[in-house]
Every structure is written in structure tokens, then in C-alpha cells.
Amino acid sequence: MPTIAQEKDSEVPSRMRIGELAARAEVSHRTVHYYERIGLLQPSERHGKGYRYYDAEALARLRKIRQLQELGLNLEEIGEVIDLYFADPSGVTGKRRVREILQGHLAEADRKRAELEGFCADLRAGIARLDRLIAEAERGAS
């Protein structure tokens, strides 16, 4: 039997309260509120005493947010691309922008790796110098 996260879209209710949405998306209701606050998600309806209702698109957005996080995007970057996935049914526009972001992450990682490799080389040189000094001191003490 599929988990709620694996269910078919036809099984998703057209109207969900926050608890059901959160459970289906496998996030906390606090996460849903936070995503609303930062503009990644909006309820489809509000009623009376502040009850929020969400539709299948809200669930799809939450799932897409998780996928984008798993790719390494932060919430600010997700905010830049999330609407592209829902404006373009093919998803190509969003994928192109995500690719650009990931290329930027890779360039930054390569830069940091080069810095770290330089630091490691400096450490190795310092250790080798100390090894020579220690060996000289030990020879002089004998």
C-alpha cells in the first residue's frame, strides 16, 4: 500500500485543512505556516475563524519544495523557482533555472575545494618543516 506521500493525485482531496496537508506532505504544520509566511505557499481558501484550506496544488508545491531542497537549494532559491514549475506544465523553465543555480553551487564548491587544497598543502609543508626541525634537534641532542 502506498504511503500518503506516494498516493495518486486522484486520491488527494480537493480541500484539506493544515493538519491533513502537513501529514500528506510529510512536514509539520509549523513548516506549512513558515512557508506561508515567506511566500512559498498560500492557502486556497480561508474561512471564518482563520481556518485555512489547501488544495492539491498546495500539496504538489510542498512536495516540489522538498525535491528542490534535496537538490541543494535553499528556501530563498526555491522562492525564485517554485512558481516556474507551476506556470510551465512541462517544468522546463524551472529546471533550466535550477540547473543555473546548481551550476553556481558547483562553482562555489570548486572554489572552496581549491582553497581547502591550498590550506592542506600549507599544513603538509608546515608539518614537514617541523619534522625536519625535530629531526635536526634530536640529532643535535645526541
How many residues in the chain? 142
> Does residue 28 form part of some domain?
yes
Residue 134 has pLDDT above 70, yes or no: yes
The C-alpha atoms of residue 93 and residue 107 are separated, in whole angstroms, by: 21
Q: What is the side-by-side order of every strand in the sheet holding 45-47? A: 16-17, 51-54, 45-47
Contact of 56 with 20, CB cutoff 8 Å: no
Structure confidence by residue, pLDDT tens digits, 9-46: 557 777 899 999 999 999 999 999 999 999 999 887 77
> Does residue 15 form part of some domain?
yes
> Does residue 18 form part of some domain?
yes
Number of domains in the chain: 1
Instruction: Quote the domain boundaries for residue 15.
Output: 1-73
Give the count of beta carbons closer than 10 Å to the beta carbon of residue 23. Answer: 14
Report the pLDDT value the prediction gives residue 81, as an integer from 0 to 100: 95
